[in-house]
Chains A and B, each alone.
Chain A
């Protein structure tokens, strides 16, 4: 049972890029064990929100807390805080084999090769361990990145459009992985079937502003969300 302070909390975050208001007073509480989706049209500020949490972008206003303590991590310290993130597309080390790609994510613990191998097995790509990523199909490369994120055994897993470019079977596999991840997940995604099926709560952004927050059913029927993003078909 988690206390109210546990998990990641974002308080009134505001980010400006020159004259563009990328995030406008965004607050969000990510409770441990929950899957939180962040959706919205292109340019709504979803990835910027991730970038603020990861320390790639500084917020002009607002603050963050992790387990009740002020939190402002530098990107390479995220793993130390138990946060792992994947990038849009495939953030990969093409000069390293698949196994080495995953090993790069092992920052602590004994027997790193065993840890990496377990992550590869979990993502169903153990047979590609010695291959170079550039020689593999896109879906496998996405899994390599996921394995690298999972190998650090994160408390919070941040997935930035993980379903992009994947076919139906791959998305079904991803859905199962998220459900069985046994960790907190923050998911930025345009694939609404995936978002609606795995998320416990969804934050909707539009032009950097939060317009709705709640469980999938509430979000699906929210007229503001329908107008701004989902459309009548949802």
Chain B
């Protein structure tokens, strides 16, 4: 047995493994780049950078749910709204940001757990239907309980000003990116371990997963909870960025944008989630500029959705695995070429 084990260990170590980059290193480098950008970019671009950070929290959680666990959610906009409103209510009462963000995450996690319990019993279009209903219902709650949520007007978010030496946009970018990088680091470690393996196993074959001893329902609920927590954090950050929350900020199209963004970026990959977050900020901004130059406000409102649709179609034709798969394919080709060179062929 010992001989077999030794041989096994030797075999495994001799095999060419996937080169994995240390997530901590990535986060440190990304953090340094973000800090540098906040000192070099103009104020509006720094604000956009902060928005990318807030979106990144949501897309990273959604790509874990949809890409790694195979659960389709059309309701993440509503989960963001839950986080945002929770933070607004907390801030207006206590004005303590960090505990407020934690409470927003916890409340959204609880909502996500409830949806997740139902979602674990549903598949495909039925699951999409459930989450779609959530996306429609949650924002309308603000109209029903207008005494608390102030209907369509929404709520202001009380925030202490940043230190005088720091620009508001800089402070916002730091807050959003600290949250985003911590989220991504946590997700990177979570998905690399047993939980990540279980999620992918459940996605690929539920019957085989059960026979391997994996609780399918528990894994699906946990995946939803993790994803909801990320959406809650993202929503809270949006409340910090806009210093107000209203149902109009979390329409149904936001949920669709989020889903399209992670598909375009590359499902199940955190890099894909980052690309998705960038697109979520860049495409509406481009649409706005085109709409403004055309002098049509109606065009401006619809162009973003059109852009997303066109980009989705083009990317799916060119690279069905999303934009990250193009990068991987190139890397593989380059590696093969290098190997052939080394062999002198």
Say whether A associates with B.
yes
A65, CB-defined interface residue at 8 Å: no
* CA–CA, A77 and B215, complex, Å: 8
Count of chain A residues with a beta carbon within 8 Å of a chain B beta carbon: 39
Please give the distance in Å from A112's CB to the nearest CB on chain B: 8
Q: Mark A60-85, 1 if CB is under 8 A from B, else 0.
A: 00000000000000011111100011
Q: Are B213 and A93 in contact (CB under 8 A)?
A: no
Q: Are B205 and A92 in contact (CB under 8 A)?
A: yes
Chain A contacts for B210, CB-based, 8 A: 75-76
Q: Are A103 and B197 in contact (CB under 8 A)?
A: yes
* CA–CA, A145 and B211, complex, Å: 11
Q: Are B208 and A87 in contact (CB under 8 A)?
A: yes
Q: Are A96 and B16 in contact (CB under 8 A)?
A: no
**Chain A: CB-nearest residue to B199:** A95
Q: Are B211 and A93 in contact (CB under 8 A)?
A: no
Q: Are B209 and A117 in contact (CB under 8 A)?
A: no
B98, CB-defined interface residue at 8 Å: no
A172, CB-defined interface residue at 8 Å: no
Q: Mark A186-212, 1 if CB is under 8 A from B, else 0.
A: 000000000000000000000000000
**Chain B: CB-nearest residue to A83:** B211
Q: Are B211 and A54 in contact (CB under 8 A)?
A: yes
Q: Interface segment, A10-18, A30-38, A122-130? A: A122-130
Q: Are B200 and A91 in contact (CB under 8 A)?
A: no
A104, CB-defined interface residue at 8 Å: yes
Q: Are B205 and A76 in contact (CB under 8 A)?
A: no
User: Which B1-53 residues sit within 8 Å CB-CB of chain A?
Assistant: 4-5, 7-9, 11-12, 15-18
Q: Mark B292-308, 1 if CB is under 8 A from A, else 0.
A: 00000000000000000
Contact of B18 among A56, A127, A130, A149 (CB under 8 A): A130
A121, CB-defined interface residue at 8 Å: yes
Q: Are A129 and B205 in contact (CB under 8 A)?
A: no
* CA–CA, A107 and B215, complex, Å: 11
Please give the distance in Å from A164's CB to the nearest CB on chain B: 16
Contact (A80, B211) CB under 8 Å given A93-B201, A130-B18: no
Contact of A92 among B198, B203, B208 (CB under 8 A): B208
**Chain B: CB-nearest residue to A158:** B211
Contact (A121, B7) CB under 8 Å given A79-B212, A84-B211, A104-B209: yes
**Chain B: CB-nearest residue to A75:** B210
Please give the distance in Å from B14's CB to the nearest CB on chain A: 9
* CA–CA, A48 and B274, complex, Å: 47
**Chain A: CB-nearest residue to B211:** A85
Please give the distance in Å from A121's CB to the nearest CB on chain B: 5
Chain A contacts for B17, CB-based, 8 A: 130
**Chain B: CB-nearest residue to A131:** B15
**Chain A: CB-nearest residue to B217:** A76
Contact (A96, B197) CB under 8 Å given A129-B15, A130-B17: yes
- Extra contacts, 12 of them, besides A93-B200, A130-B16 (Cβ < 8 A), are A76-B214, A91-B205, A92-B205, A93-B208, A94-B204, A96-B197, A96-B200, A104-B201, A104-B214, A105-B212, A117-B12, A149-B211
